[in-house]
Amino acid sequence: MNYLLSPYTLGDLELKNRVVMAPMTRSRTPNTIPSELNALYYAQRATAGLIVAEATNIDQGGIGGPFTPGVYAEEQVEGWQKVTQAVHDRGGLIFLQLWHGGRVSHPDNIGGRDSVAPSAIAAKGKAFTPNGMKDHVVPKALEISEIKAILQQYKMAAEYAKAAGFDGVELHAAFGYLPNQFLSDQSNQRTDEYGGSVENRSRFVLEIMEALCKVWPSHRVGIRLAPSNIYNDVLDSDPPALYTYLVQKLNDLNLAYLSLMEPTVKEHENPNFIYQVAEYFRPLYHGTIIGNGGLNQEKAELMLEQNHADLIAFGQLYIANPDLVERFRLGLPLSEGDRRTYYGGDERGYVDYQAYADLNS
């Protein structure tokens, strides 16, 4: 059986297949307002069962990278309406991923203001800025009142996403951004109710999810986690303990899905490292799981067949193959993406990849 191409009921949504377009930053929104170019990009890929649009900033003070879109102003809502309308016109469904960069929001990307984090600990590595790659800076440790204000920003962003015509929202709680920074004992060394125990370090993420579920029905809200993430310097010392607690608490919310990123490395020095993420959490999570991370069609089918996931998200494969579902259906060869045009630029390497039928017509 071809599981990938079979339909799937996601809450009250009927997905035409189990192929998800993963959220991918492409840095094609220079003024934070989505344009006709962005609308075309997503519309070209609307045959996916579900699109999760790229990480989108919930506030100007949390911009995670240059040339990325926002969802905190009316003009941005109007821009996103072009995107959602284009996707819906082609019979697609689309969620929006909500993003706050936290300590990796370099001052050059946020108007010179301080980046913020649970603790005043700089991330290792460099930030992508309009002025080139720069070292991450030491962030300002958030006060309780500031944490509460950011929770309201997430809630408002969810309101704006609804006004923009999205079918749901996803919290980006992975890859070393602000929610992930609260989860990790490497980046979170607070001693108040948001730090210390796994319960306290999970509090911020759970409060965000509760806020989102006040705006949207819970079955239209998803979350993305990466328990084996090594990106942006936030790997926890004991991922099984932390994420087992968090995932079990997420069960109570009746969410649309839990999206889980597989590790990008085959070996790690952490003795508690989780190598098969979806398989590990499948018995613990009672709802829909989206598997993601370095998967091809064969590996995806196996993951579905073994019931380790219900849906599969593809990232890089979608860059050069807007007709990815059709190529899977017919067993057609896949086009290779040009890494030089993954981030930033114009329509080249963005909307000029052709469907297989057009390449060979």
CATH number for 171: 3.20.20.70
Least Cα distance to 50 among 174, 200, 167, 155 occurs for: 167
| Mean pLDDT across 25-48 | 97
**In 3-state terms, what secondary structure has residue 111?**
coil
Domain that holds residue 355: 8-359
Residue 194 is a catalytic residue = no
Residue 147 maps to a domain: yes
Q: What percent of the chain has pLDDT over 90?
A: 92
| Mean pLDDT across 286-312 | 96
**In 3-state terms, what secondary structure has residue 57?**
strand
If one counts the domains in the chain, the total is: 1
Residue-level length of the chain:
361
pLDDT band at 361 (very low <50, low <70, confident <90, very high): low
Output the CA torsion 279→284→288→290 (10° steps).
-30
C-alpha to C-alpha distance for 8 and 46, rounded to whole angstroms: 16
C-alpha to C-alpha distance for 174 and 192, rounded to whole angstroms: 22
Which strand (E) or helix (H) includes residue 120? none
Catalytic residue among 8, 42, 177, 356: 177
Residue 2 maps to a domain: no
- Reduced 3-state DSSP string for 224-283: EECCCCCCCCCCCCCHHHHHHHHHHHHHHHCCCEEEEECCCCCCCCCCCCCCCHHHHHCC
Tell me: pLDDT of 266 over 90.
no
Residue 3 maps to a domain: no
The per-residue pLDDT for range 42-86, each reduced to its tens digit, is: 999 999 999 999 999 999 999 999 999 999 999 999 999 999 999
The pLDDT mean for the chain works out to: 96
> What pTM did the predictor assign?
0.97
